[in-house]
Amino acid sequence: MSLAALLIFALLLDALFGEPAWLWSRLPHPAVLMGRLVGALDRRLNTGDSRGAAGALAVVILVVSGLGAGFLLSLAGPLAEVIIAAILLAQRSLVQHVSAVSAALRSSRDEGRAAVSMIVSRDTSAMDDSAIARSAIESAAENLSDGVIAPAFWFLIGGLPGIVTYKLINTADSMIGYRTEKYEAFGRAAARLDDLMNLIPARLTALLLALAGRVTDLHGVRADAGLHRSPNAGWPEAALSRALGIALSGPRTYDGRMQDFAFVNENGRRALSDVDIDAAIAMLWRAWGLFLALCFVFVILF
């Protein structure tokens, strides 16, 4: 069976069941195990004067570990490949987390702040309704790329070795890929490799969202993506913002300091609510459906 066919089953399995609490309350989730490996490398290697070289070594260890673990897991056969790939995809869990923000915001602003604080790293204590909705929608766009399209893309490229390696590098970037005194040198290699591995998936995600939202101004999407502080996250945000007719990104607070980021789709509507979050969720499913259809095309053609 082709990788595209296996991916179709994995996408459907993830969409139907997501991450069942009864299972992951009893067993450590693979993402937790990956985090433990990254944490162990951080504690062991992130010392001394050669932290850049140590960070590069950590990335080599992660890549070798991902390729090796993925290869060994693939020996269990197609059914195991489908199940493991589904576990490493996150469409249903993404929708559930973003939907939780919408439901909380409908209840009260304080509940909305609490819910969105679970999925973003910025300060949420002073957010109004628009900022809460904007944060949730940005998270939806970025995580559609990082949590669904990118791992699926790398599964198509390299099977389980590809998707496991991607998830390890993405986990490392989320843990050590920061421009802080501790991680500026050590996390650089992980951050740059994560940028590289997301280069195509981020743009593919933007195209899927643009098609889902019938966005024709792809030049505008490209221009807006270039305004974003991230070389990849700006693409799905730019496409989703235009699909919904809203402005995303913009100024926000981290660690008590206001960061004056540019707006993506600056002329879009800025007064947002839970209705816009729901519209973003619908767009996530449309983009997911288009990607599923693309996998069917791969199966038919190849």
* Listed residue (146, 106, 138, 91) closest to 119, CA to CA: 138
Query: Tokens 């960061």 belong to which residue?
Result: 259
What mean pLDDT comes out for the span 139-155? 97
Identify the pLDDT of residue 195: 97
Task: Give me the sign of the Cα torsion angle 210, 213, 219, 224.
Answer: negative
What mean pLDDT comes out for the span 269-282? 97
Identify the pLDDT of residue 251: 79
Per-residue pLDDT tens digits for 173-186:
999 998 888 999 99
Percent of the chain with pLDDT over 90: 85
Distances (CA, A) of 258 to 47, 49, 248, 253: 31, 32, 16, 4
Identify the pLDDT of residue 224: 93
Angle at 291 between CA 286 and CA 293, to 5 degrees: 95
Structural domain that includes position 256: 3-301
Per-residue pLDDT tens digits for 95-118:
999 999 999 999 999 999 999 999
Counted domains in the chain: 1
Identify the pLDDT of residue 255: 64
Query: Tokens 């019938």 belong to which residue?
Result: 214
pLDDT interval class at 198 (50, 70, 90): very high
Q: Between β-strands 257-259 and 252-254, what pairing exists: parallel, antiparallel or unpaired?
A: antiparallel
Q: How many CB atoms lie within 10 A of CB 229?
A: 10
Percent of the chain with pLDDT over 70: 98
What mean pLDDT comes out for the span 3-32? 94
Cβ atoms 169, 180 nearer than 8 A: no
Is pLDDT at 122 greater than 70 in this prediction? yes
Is pLDDT at 230 greater than 90 in this prediction? no
* Listed residue (197, 208, 143) closest to 165, CA to CA: 197
**Average pLDDT score over the chain:** 94
Q: Which residues pair with 269 in a beta bridge?
A: 246
What mean pLDDT comes out for the span 142-169? 98
What mean pLDDT comes out for the span 280-302? 96
Distances (CA, A) of 168 to 194, 220, 258: 10, 33, 31
